[in-house]
Amino acid sequence: MVAEVEVDVVGVDAAAEDVAVDEEVVFLAVVFLAVVFLVVVFFFDVFLVVFFTGINSESEAS
């Protein structure tokens, strides 16, 4: 009976460590996705500005 309780405690400790690792991985994944999202939005905005500026300069030149 005591051996079963010790095994259960060890299992709970291992599960708690797994959850902690999962939370860290999830946090890093969220930060990574946030950075990727900001970079994509930044380049998309730069593309729009350059694209529309190019159209305006071409229309003014012609």
Q: What is the DSSP letter of 1?
A: -
pLDDT at 1 (0 to 100)? 56
Q: Render pLDDT for 12-52 as a digit per residue (tens, 0 to 9).
A: 666 666 655 688 899 999 999 999 999 999 999 999 999 88
Does residue 8 register a pLDDT over 60?
no
pLDDT at 22 (0 to 100)? 81
Q: Which residues of 26-59 are buried (b: 16+ CB within 10 A; e: fewer)?
A: eeeeeeeeeeeeeeeeeeeeeeeeeeeeeeeeee
pLDDT at 15 (0 to 100)? 63
Does residue 2 register a pLDDT over 90?
no
Does residue 3 register a pLDDT over 60?
no
